Amino acid sequence: MSTTVTDDTAARAIEIRREIHRHPELGFEEHNTQAIVERELSALGIEHRRVAATGVVGVVRGALPGHVSGLRADMDALPINEDSGEACSSQVAGKMHACGHDAHTAMLLGAARELQRTRDTLHGSVVLLFQPAEEGPGGALPMIEAGAMDDPKIEAVAMLHVDSRLATGTIGITPGPVNAAADEFHLTIRGKGGHGAAPHKAIDAIPCAAATVLALQNIAARETDPLSTIVVTIGTIDGGYRNNVIADIVKMSGTVRTQDPALREGVEAKLRRIVDGVAAAYGAQTSLEMLYGYPPVVNDPALSAAFASYAQEEVGLPVSAPPPTMGGEDFAYFAQRAPGLMMRLGIYNEARGSVHAGHSPQFRLDEEAIPTGIRTLVAFARAVGDGSVPLA
Ligand SMILES: [Zn+2]
Ligand SMILES: [Zn+2]
């Protein structure tokens, strides 16, 4: 079992992480990052192709027969002014790797290097998925549509995301849904305008809107299993002209967060029933638009359990099961098409100031975590390849 990471590989990955960190690029603008990935894969003698504009797919082919795994890293940065004090801080004003995707890319390159180096004992193939635009508008689907999972066909897919909730050196593996779908809705309530002193000649959209806001609380409070996770928030409400005019239109927008795909699917129907029912009671009309974001990532339960015990017992990695978050992640699309595993990589280290959550301008990444991340990715590829982790 070869899951050691050479000092060389770890040092090189840290160097690459710093290089990417200094030159952050937003979604679908990752031209420099793409060039770094291609440069490194070419130097390692790993075949690669471009997909989805700024994405790269590489393939490491083991010398021994076996299964095909996929390892995914995202490459994009955020529109944030860096204030971390790190020596390798962003050299681009208004852009920062504040979610750790620089480290994700560097660790996948490190794993590629180790897998290629130990190819003689590697079963199966490993598809390296370097993905653009995770923070938006989403690079996973364009990669999948370009055939990134098809040649060779990926049988199980994994990713790591750095996580400041966990101490450096630990890995988080939680079965089932591990984050949330973030969907958005826009509602217009139409009544009939009129004089504020003659309500009987109008249809007032404002009390209808007020009743609608209250009634929508029932989706979470009365219509959902209390042990399930759902949030329905009305974030904006806008209507009316002046104190003595009856409003003919009120517009509202809100967000729906869910972790369970079945629950998510049912929310739009509940929203429509409540909104239309309340409007009918007031004699008003509605139009409701749902805008769906990324689905929740659902970690395959069997794969999660099998790899968690493999990582602990065979590789000696400390594994915990952190609670899910309500964030979004378009790795979900890969995990819908093959058994998937979104793992967390601990980076919390007070001594290094790595204490801030992702998306903070003060976010700092403890590079001590990088060798652990590389070992985890290599272990996943090897365990899937030789069948140590059985696939359903
Ligand atoms: Zn992020
Ligand atoms: Zn992220």
Give the per-residue SS3 of 272-340: HHHHHHHHHHHCCEEEEEEECCCCCCEECHHHHHHHHHHHHHCCCCCEECCCCCCCCCCHHHHHHHCCE
Proximal ligand: closest to the CA of 161: 2
Q: For residues 166 and 211, state if they share a domain.
A: no
Question: pTM of the full predicted structure?
Answer: 0.89
Sign of the C-alpha dihedral, residues 36, 297, 124, 313? Answer: positive
Q: Is 357 helix (H, G, I), strand (E, B) or coil?
A: coil
Give the number of whichever ligand sits closest to the CA of residue 163: 2
Ligand index nearest the alpha carbon of residue 345: 2
> How confident is residue 169, by pLDDT bands cut at 50, 70 and 90?
very high
Of 30, 134, 294, 310, the active-site residue reads 294
C-alpha 221 – ligand 1 centre gap (Å): 30
Mean pLDDT, range 148-172, rounded to an integer: 97
255 and 327, same structural domain? no
Span from the CA of 65 to the centroid of ligand 2 (angstroms): 34
Least confident of 110-114, 197-201, 324-328: 324-328
Residues 174 and 61 in one domain: yes
**28 and 146 housed in the same domain:** yes
Residues 61, 173, single domain; the answer is yes
Assigned domain for 1 exists: no
Q: Measure the CA–CA gap between 91 and 268, rounded to whole angstroms.
A: 44
Nearest by Cα to 62 from 9, 115, 2: 115
- How many other C-beta atoms lie within 10 A of the C-beta of residue 223? 14
Q: Which of 25, 30, 134, 367 is catalytic?
A: 367
Q: Is 292 a catalytic residue?
A: no
Section 64-76 average pLDDT: 98
Tokens coding 307: 């790899």
Q: 101 is written with which tokens? A: 């995707």
Residue 390, domain member (yes or no)? no
Tally the domains of the chain.
Answer: 2
Shared domain check, 35 and 158: yes
Judge whether 76 and 26 are in contact, CB under 8 Å: yes
As a whole-number percent, the residues of the chain with pLDDT over 70 amount to 99
134 CA distance to ligand 2 middle (Å): 7
Mean pLDDT of the chain, nearest integer:
96
Residue 2 lies in a domain: no
Whether pLDDT at 261 is above 60 = yes
Whole-number Å distance, alpha carbon 358 to ligand 2 midpoint, is 7
Closest by Cα among 172, 156, 105, 92 to 134:
105
**pLDDT tens-digit map of 187-213:** 999 999 999 999 999 999 999 999 999
Which pLDDT does position 3 carry in this prediction? Answer: 67
Is 163 in the same domain as 188? no
Q: What is the pLDDT of residues 24-57, one digit of tens each?
A: 999 999 999 999 999 999 999 999 999 999 999 9
- 268 and 323, same domain (yes or no): no
Q: Which of 250, 294, 33 is nearest to 140 (CA)?
A: 294
Among 291, 319, 335, which residue terminates a domain? 291
Residue pair 72/131 in contact (Cβ under 8 Å)? The answer is yes
Is a pLDDT exceeding 70 seen at residue 111?
Answer: yes
The SS3 call for residue 82 is: coil
pLDDT tens digits, 284-306: 999 999 999 999 999 999 999 99
Centre of ligand 2 to C-alpha 78, Å, is 9
CA–CA separation, 313 and 330 (whole Å): 30
Q: Residue 312: is its pLDDT beyond 80?
A: yes
**Per-residue pLDDT band at 215 (split at 50, 70, 90):** very high
Confidence of residue 120 (pLDDT cuts 50, 70, 90): very high
Answer whether 364's CB lies under 8 Å from 136's CB. Answer: no
Residue 52 lies in a domain: yes
- Residue 46 CA to ligand 2 center (angstroms) comes to 26
| Nearest alpha carbon to residue 215 among 265, 263, 286 | 286
Q: Please check whether residue 42 lies inside any domain of the structure.
A: yes
> Based on the domain organization, do 151 and 230 belong to the same domain?
no
Q: Is the pLDDT of residue 1 over 80?
A: no
Q: How far is the CA of 261 from the centre of ligand 2 (A)?
A: 21
**What is the span of the domain harbouring residue 273?**
181-291
Q: Which H helix or E strand runs over 127?
A: strand 123-131
- pLDDT band at 2, cuts 50/70/90? low
Task: Look at residue 136 and tell me if it is in a domain.
Answer: yes
Is 265 a catalytic site residue?
A: no
Given a cut of 70, whether residue 93 has pLDDT beyond it is yes
Judged by phi (left if over 0) then psi (alpha if -120 to 50, else beta), residue 135 lies in alpha
Which DSSP state fits 202?
Answer: S
Q: Which of 242, 275, 291 is the last residue of a domain?
A: 291
Say if 391 falls within a structural domain.
no
Same domain, 212 and 334: no
* Average pLDDT of the residues in 319-341: 95
For 282-296, b where at least 16 C-beta lie within 10 A, e where not — what string?
Answer: bebbbebeeeebbbb
Do residue 253 and residue 379 come from a single domain?
no
226, 260, 291: which is the final residue of a domain? 291
For residue 340, the CA-to-ligand 1 centroid distance in Å is 19
What's 313's domain CATH number? 3.40.630.10
